[in-house]
Structures are given as structure tokens and as C-alpha cells.
Amino acid sequence: MGYSGRKPCDYKHHTRGRVVLHQQARSNHAVLQKARKELGLDFVAFDYGYEKEGNLVVWEAKYIRFSTGKLTYRNAALDKTLLAILKMYLKSASLPIPGKMDQQLAY
């Protein structure tokens, strides 16, 4: 047993579970996109889980907004975060990543 006192992870079972969760998440994509549109948001992160029966349960929706006034110092970090997420999406979709994107992430 490791530091946590738990038994070593069965990676084969763990991977299988991740595939099932990924398939469940993909099946809920349309519902979550509809919720995003109903909220009138361009970007949103849903915290969600599943009931024992497999039904989707949304705990909260976190939206992204740029700051104004005294909090504008946060915008640079938010901008860089969104750029990094976009780069990850482009890479995972095997789409070209604009060279300017790497320059912007380097600042």
C-alpha cells in the first residue's frame, strides 16, 4: 500500500471507467450547449456529475467575464488562459496552431 493507505490502482479498470465517463460526457454535449445558449453565454464551465442511475446533475455553471475598473489586472491572466485552452483544442483536433498564438502565450 502507498502513502494514502489505498491499494495500488488497477489501471485497466481505471482506464475503462474513464472511457465510460467520456462517452457519458459526449452524450450530454447537446444538453449542455443548449443550457449555455439559454444562459446567453459564449463560454461556460459546468460542474456536473451523475446520479446512481446515470442521469446528469449540474451543480453550477461558471461563466467567464473580463474585468473592468480596478480588477482589469486579471484580464491578462484570463486572456492567456483562454488562449492556452484554444491551443489545446486545436492540437487535440489536429488543426494548425497559428504561430502568433505561441508568441502571445510567451508574454
Rounded-to-10 torsion of CA 96, 97, 99, 104: 170
| Domain shared by 56 and 4, yes or no | yes
| Domain shared by 58 and 85, yes or no | no
| Domain shared by 25 and 60, yes or no | yes
pLDDT tens digits, one per residue of 4-20: 454 555 444 445 555 55
| Domain shared by 75 and 100, yes or no | yes
pLDDT tens digits, one per residue of 44-96: 888 888 888 878 888 888 877 777 888 888 888 888 888 888 888 888 888 88
pTM of the model: 0.45
Residue 103, domain extent = 65-107
| Domain shared by 26 and 59, yes or no | yes
The Cα–Cα gap between 32 and 41 comes to: 12
Number of domains in the chain: 2
Q: Alpha helices, DSSP H only, in the chain? A: 11-27, 29-39, 74-92, 99-106
| Domain shared by 60 and 37, yes or no | yes
| Domain shared by 53 and 86, yes or no | no
